[in-house]
Amino acid sequence: MEAFLTKYGSWFFITFMVLGVIPILQYDTILNEPFFFAFDYLTIPVLIVSYFLYFTTFPKYRKQAGDIKGCLWVFMLCCLFILMSQGYVMYVNATFGTQLDTKLEGKIVELDTYTSNKGGTSYYVYIDNTATGEILKLDVSKRHFDKLKVGNNYSEIWKTGSLDILYR
């Protein structure tokens, strides 16, 4: 297993990351909700499995890297894995289990865009949700963002997926 992962592990990880981005681009969500879910529920299991594999399955790498450097690499890879798994969380949320229609309504209090240094633009809509009384920050597509105006009432049907994450 160590030889296989040493040879093909980087390609597996890159493929995992690229495929994990697709659901993130496909669904509108409350900002970072899939990430928080992944962080809350996947951190401990991923760390346990990763360190178990490191200490039991990678004797050559462990001897070469040493325990401190090897443990830091495992931790860093786990963090990247959990960060990129939010796309898979969204896929599972939207594909499996019960999908409930949820009416999301409130007043639009702010429209915001964020342009990163890498050239991508994100579109955010802040809604004063009448049902919960909290302000929700929705991460939406440009097409949807262009139709909205501050002060208008927002009322749309979203879905609550099997992991209790709102999406559209």
Same domain, 83 and 141: no
Q: Which two tokens stand for residue 90?
A: 């969204």
Same domain, 67 and 138: no
Domain boundary among 95, 122, 137: 95
d(CA 3, CA 59): 11
pLDDT digits (tens, 9 = 90+) for 116-167: 776 688 899 999 988 888 899 998 888 889 999 999 998 889 999 999 999 9
Same domain, 129 and 154: yes
Q: Which one, of 23, 87, 47, lies nearest residue 55 by Cα? A: 47
d(CA 69, CA 26): 37
Identify the pLDDT of residue 118. Answer: 67
Same domain, 41 and 56: yes
Q: pTM here?
A: 0.81
pLDDT digits (tens, 9 = 90+) for 33-48: 999 999 999 999 999 9
Domain span including residue 146: 100-167
Same domain, 117 and 35: no
Give the CATH number of the domain where residue 138 resides.
2.40.50
DSSP annotation of 27 reads -
Number of domains in the chain: 2
Same domain, 70 and 10: yes
Domain boundary among 95, 110, 137: 95
With a pLDDT cut of 90, the percent of the chain lying above it is 57
d(CA 167, CA 161): 7
Domain boundary among 95, 122, 149: 95
